Structure 1
Amino acid sequence: MPLSQQDQFSLLKDILTNHQTDCCGSVAECEQVERLVKSLMINMDIDQSALTILEEIYRYSQTGAGTADLDSHISEHQGQLSEWVDEIDQYS
């Protein structure tokens, strides 16, 4: 059963919140974020401001999945993670 858009935003928020609070994560989480963002971006009803944020999150997750030091990558993006989590609240 596919996840609703609200469920996808909620899951995305949960993963990003974990990255923000724990300052660590896994490649599998980054890959999950990529899949969630792709799914949300192909939704024709998505708001333009949400699309911009999703593009930023997608780049973050792509870079994170390919980096040798994921924990450092997450630490470097703490400010952005906080902003994204706050922004996602508007859409979920």
Structure 2
Amino acid sequence: MPLSHLDQITLLKDILNNHQVDCCGSVSECEQLERLVKSLLVDPNIDASVKPVLQEVYNYSQHGQYTQHLNSHIEANQDNLSQWVDQININF
């Protein structure tokens, strides 16, 4: 059963929150973020105003997948993680 766009948003926020709180994560979480964002970007139920935030999360996930120092990448994006979750919360 596919996830609804609201379920996808909830999962996206959960992963971003975990990265922010724990200051660590895994490559598989970054891959999951990428899949979620790709799906949400083509979803007609997603307002265009949130798509720039999703693109930033996509870039973050891409970099996270290929960096040798994932935890440093997450720590460097602490402010962004908080802002992205806040912006997504405003729109959903």
TM-score bracket, normalised by the shorter chain, equals: over 0.9
Give the corresponding residue for 2:5. Answer: 5
Contact 2:64-2:70 within 8 A present in 1 as well:
yes
Give the TM-score normalised by structure 1: 0.96
Aligned AA for 2:91? Y
Give the corresponding residue for 2:71. Answer: 71
- 1:14 and 1:33 map into 2 onto residues whose CA distance is 10
- 1:9 and 1:90 map into 2 onto residues whose CA distance is 12
Bigger Cα displacement from structure 2, 16-25 vs 46-55: 46-55
Query: What is the root-mean-square deviation of aligned Cα atoms in Å?
Result: 0.9
- What is the deviation of 1:48? 1.8
- What is the deviation of 1:14? 0.1
Equivalent pairs, count: 92
Contact 2:37-2:57 within 8 A present in 1 as well:
yes
Contact 1:16-1:85 within 8 A present in 2 as well:
yes
Detail structure 1 runs of 4+ shifted over 6 Å in the superposition.
none
| Long gaps (5+) in structure 2 | none
Which structure would you say has the larger RCO, counting Cα contacts within 8 Å and 6 or more residues apart?
1
Aligned AA for 1:14? D
Q: How does 1:23-42 map to 2 (within 5 A)?
A: 23-42=23-42
- Report percent identity of matched pairs: 59
Give the TM-score normalised by structure 2: 0.96
